[in-house]
Chain A
Amino acid sequence: MELHVATRKGLFTVRPDDKDPVSTPSFLGDPVTSVLHDRRDGTLYAALDLGHFGRKLHRSEDGGATWTELASPAFDKKEGDADGPSVSLIWTLEPGGDDQPGRLWAGTIPGALFRSDDRGDSWRLVQSLWDLPERQNWFGGGYDEPGIHSILVDPRDSTNVVCGISCGGVVASSDDGENWRQTGHGFRADYFPPERKDDPSIQDPHRMQACPSQPDTVWCQHHTAVFKSTDRGDNWTELTEARPSAFGFAVAAHPSDPDTAWFVPGIKDERRVPVDGKFVVSRTRDGGRSFDVLDTGLPAEPSFDLVYRHALDIDPSGECLAMGSTTGNLWFSDNGGDDWRLISNFLPPVYQVRFA
């Protein structure tokens, strides 16, 4: 059992069952904005934000012992355009389908999708999505510019790709990214004028995750509430029983049970701390009709932890969960969230947790 933890100050490998579970980090001192362990070939990828010196991408063939810097996803230079785009952050990395060896997708800020077919050696912008007319409505949420944070590749047909954008709703392609359509109907944006609150192109789905064995079921922790789709993100239904609050960032979908998902609630957007200081995980096991509040092993005292959108993950068995917080705490569960075990409370702020 191994997981990778991307933080504000390096990338850690964690083996929860080891006596000393937290490794010496790779990239000590540098923000690691995304990590991907590609289960197709065991390769590890890490995206960095070096601040002064921009975003970078690295690849490891030996589990993180050594790293090679790769070309980073980048926009082509536009001569004569002083305001041309530049990638400021690699927000998410995802593998293509099992039938697409070498294929990687990268979601960035600003809101662009990049594709590699050679394990990250080279990248090209998915121009058709960049040219989608609705993109003009997208805007930044949390960051100054919009960004793609969720990329769902359909395991039944890897040419079906769905992306979540903050703030730009949901977009979908049925032809391997050649053409795109704005989907995501049924969301509600309480932060917009009433006439526009249903507009799909201004929605803020904080994170989307699909059930791998039934990928038409997609869960979303939206800025406004928790939603579920049963048609791969085209249409969404609000889950009004979510508790103790409707706000949060992270979501994990059970790998084989489409009725089960986990969330980590916070009070609301302008107060991003646990409700009543009580840090909990919520879980539904009936498709979103009801939610359990799980707190065994989580802090009994007042807590100020927030779990970012990529910082909750589930392993392929569906039993093991891990999450890391902005306060640098890392918890692990081996029974579906019923009980949690603190792995470390001395990590840097956690950006992503990902099982190997």
Chain B
Amino acid sequence: MVHVEFTPHLSRFLACPPLDVEGSTVRTALDAVFAERPALKSYLVDDQDRLRKHVALYVNDRPIADRTGLSDGLADGDRLFVFQALSGG
């Protein structure tokens, strides 16, 4: 399981407690998050499912490398952090 946590900023708009999902990549983990919380999807990705420019994703202590394909691998016990980038917005 991957543990997913969200910036408190998102809780202004919708409930966003942490959750645990299955996923071997960032993409599949996010798909699992969106399946469970469909209202969250448009907050993190655009109409074409591209990660929004000012949303930052970290796996454990490192930013993801592939913001386009979200192909960064995940292992059991990893933590995926959904932050707001400190730019734009």
Interface string of B39-63 (1 = CB under 8 A from A): 1001110111110101100000000
What DSSP secondary structure best describes chain A's contact surface?
A: loop
User: Would B88 and A51 count as touching, CB distance under 8 A?
Assistant: yes
A99 at interface, CB cutoff 8 A: no
Quick one: which of A76-116 are within 8 Å of B by CB?
Answer: 76-78, 81-82, 84-87
Q: Which of A53, A75, A84 has the most CB of B within 10 A?
A: A53
Picked from A69, A81, A84, the residue with its CB within 8 Å of the CB of B39 is A69
Number of B residues with CB within 8 Å of any CB on chain A? 21
In the assembled complex, the CB of B58 is this many whole angstroms from the nearest CB of chain A, namely 15
In the assembled complex, the CB of B6 is this many whole angstroms from the nearest CB of chain A, namely 11
In the assembled complex, the CB of B38 is this many whole angstroms from the nearest CB of chain A, namely 11
User: Would B48 and A81 count as touching, CB distance under 8 A?
Assistant: yes
* Complex CA distance for A206 and B25, rounded to whole angstroms: 46
| CB contact under 8 A between A53 and B13, given known A69-B39, A82-B68 | yes
Picked from B13, B14, B42, B88, the residue with its CB within 8 Å of the CB of A72 is B42
B15 at interface, CB cutoff 8 A: no
B10 at interface, CB cutoff 8 A: yes
In the assembled complex, the CB of B61 is this many whole angstroms from the nearest CB of chain A, namely 21
User: Would B39 and A52 count as touching, CB distance under 8 A?
Assistant: no
User: Would B46 and A54 count as touching, CB distance under 8 A?
Assistant: yes
Determine the chain B residues whose CB is within 8 A of the CB of A132 once the complex forms.
none
Determine the chain B residues whose CB is within 8 A of the CB of A84 once the complex forms.
47-48
* Complex CA distance for A71 and B10, rounded to whole angstroms: 17
* Complex CA distance for A219 and B54, rounded to whole angstroms: 39
User: Would A51 and B89 count as touching, CB distance under 8 A?
Assistant: yes
Interface string of A39-79 (1 = CB under 8 A from B): 00000000000111110100000000000010010111110
Quick one: which of A314-338 are within 8 Å of B by CB?
Answer: none
Number of A residues with CB within 8 Å of any CB on chain B? 19
User: Would B49 and A52 count as touching, CB distance under 8 A?
Assistant: no
User: Would A54 and B49 count as touching, CB distance under 8 A?
Assistant: no
User: Would A52 and B54 count as touching, CB distance under 8 A?
Assistant: yes
* Complex CA distance for A18 and B47, rounded to whole angstroms: 43
In the assembled complex, the CB of A59 is this many whole angstroms from the nearest CB of chain B, namely 15
In the assembled complex, the CB of B30 is this many whole angstroms from the nearest CB of chain A, namely 14
User: Would A75 and B48 count as touching, CB distance under 8 A?
Assistant: yes
B65 at interface, CB cutoff 8 A: no
* Complex CA distance for A53 and B45, rounded to whole angstroms: 8
Picked from A52, A69, A75, A81, the residue with its CB within 8 Å of the CB of B9 is A52
| CB contact under 8 A between A86 and B48, given known A51-B54, A53-B43, A53-B55 | yes
* Complex CA distance for A124 and B89, rounded to whole angstroms: 26
User: Would B47 and A87 count as touching, CB distance under 8 A?
Assistant: yes
Nearest-CB residue, chain A, relative to B84: A52
Determine the chain A residues whose CB is within 8 A of the CB of B75 once the complex forms.
none
Q: Which of A69, A76, A78, A86 has the most CB of B within 10 A?
A: A86
User: Would A53 and B52 count as touching, CB distance under 8 A?
Assistant: yes
Q: Which of A50, A76, A85 has the most CB of B within 10 A?
A: A50
Nearest-CB residue, chain A, relative to B56: A52
B85 at interface, CB cutoff 8 A: yes
* Complex CA distance for A87 and B68, rounded to whole angstroms: 18
* Complex CA distance for A77 and B42, rounded to whole angstroms: 12
* Complex CA distance for A54 and B89, rounded to whole angstroms: 9
The 3 residue pairs across chains A and B that have the minimum distance between CB atoms:
A51-B89, A86-B46, A86-B47
Q: Which residues of A contact B (CB under 8 A)?
A: 50-54, 56, 69, 72, 74-78, 81-82, 84-87
Q: Which residues of B contact A (CB under 8 A)?
A: 9-10, 13-14, 39, 42-44, 46-50, 52, 54-55, 68, 84-85, 88-89
A sample of 18 inter-chain contacts (CB < 8 A) reads: A50-B13, A51-B54, A52-B55, A52-B84, A52-B89, A53-B42, A53-B55, A54-B46, A54-B52, A56-B13, A56-B42, A69-B39, A75-B47, A78-B48, A82-B48, A82-B68, A84-B47, A84-B48
